[in-house]
Amino acid sequence: MDDPARNAELALLLEVAGTPKPGNVDRRRDLDDLRFEHFLAGAVGAREGLDLAADGAAIGPAFERAIEGMAAHGENSQFGALLLLVPLVRAAREDLSQPVVESVVEGTTVADAAAFYRAFEHVDVFVGDPPADMEPLDVRRGADAVPALEERGLTLRGVMDRSVPGDDVAREWVRGFDRSFAAAERLADADGPPTDRAAAVFLSLLAERPDTLVAKRHGEAVAAEVTDRAAALADRDALETEPGAVEAFAEELVDRGVNPGTTADLTAAGLFIALEHGAVGI
C-alpha cells in the first residue's frame, strides 16, 4: 500500500483493534463514553483531511478537516493521533524521516494555528487550564482565540512549543517525533500480526514514560503508578509467569476510568511510520 492517507487510516484502525491496551478502547473493551465503533467511524471520517495532507495541503486546514470528519462520524476518538498523523502524512510526500517531518512542522504558519484552534469547535477535547499569561490562547476558546494568535504571530509549531509541559503529543512536534519513530522500530522488531504488535508496543510506550492524559485527568501520582505497573508487565519473564496479567490490568484501568490515551496516539503514529516503511504488512 503506497498511499499515505490510506496507511494513516489503516494505522488508526489497527491501533484500536490491538488488544489488550490497558485503559483504552480496543476490540474487546469500550469506555463509558466511547465505543469501538466510534473509533472505526472516526478513522473513516478523518480520511478526507488525511487526503488533503497527502495531496500537499497546509497542515492546519488538513487537520481541521480531519477532525471535522472524525467528530461527525466517531465523536472525539482520535484527536491526538490525528495531530501526529497529519504532519507525518504530509512529510511522506517527500520522505518519511525525522528531518523531513521537522521541516514540515517548522514551516507551519499562523493560519495553520488558526485552523488548529477552529478544530476545537468540532469536538470536546479534555485540556487543562492554561497559565494566566496564556489565557487568551486557551484552545477551548476556539476561533475566538485567533485574534490573539495573530497579534502574537504564533505559528502552529509555536503553539506546540508552548504546550509541551504536560502534553506528549506537543512534545513530539518539538522533538522530531522521536517516540513515534521509536515505536515504529519496535513494531518492526515485534512478532505476530499487526494488532498484537500494536498492543505490545503500546505497553512498552506506557512503561517508559507516564501518560500525559492520565496525568491531566488523575494527577501525576496515578500516571506514575500506571507506568510502574506497565513496566513490570512489559517484562517478558513476568508475562510468561502470569500470562493474563496485562488483560487484568486492562480491565482494571477501564473500571477505574484511567485512560492512557496519549500512549494510544503515539502507537497510531508508530503504526503509520511502520506501514509506510514496509516494516508492518497486512
Cell digits for 189?
522488531
What would the pLDDT profile of 185-233 be if each residue is shown by its tens digit? 999 999 999 999 999 999 999 999 999 999 999 999 999 999 999 999 9
DSSP state of 176: T
Q: What is the mean pLDDT of the chain?
A: 93
Q: Which residues pair with 29 in a beta bridge?
A: 26
Nearest to 92 by CA among 119, 59, 68: 59
Q: Which residues contact 66 (CB under 8 A, 6 or more apart)?
A: 46, 48, 49, 50, 52, 53, 82, 85, 86
What would the pLDDT profile of 125-142 be if each residue is shown by its tens digit? 877 777 666 788 888 888
Nearest to 36 by CA among 4, 7, 78, 1: 78
Q: State the average pLDDT over residues 147-171.
A: 93
Q: State the average pLDDT over residues 54-62.
A: 97
Which of the following CATH numbers is that of domain 1-282: 2.40.30.10, 3.40.50.150, 1.10.4200.10, 3.30.70.100? 1.10.4200.10
Q: How far apart are the first and last CA of the chain?
A: 9
For position 132, what pLDDT does the model report?
66
Q: Is the pLDDT of residue 75 over 80?
A: no
pTM of the shown model: 0.95
CA 223 from chain centre, in angstroms, equals 17
CA geometry: angle 189, 209, 124, nearest 5 deg: 105
Q: State the average pLDDT over residues 24-33.
A: 93
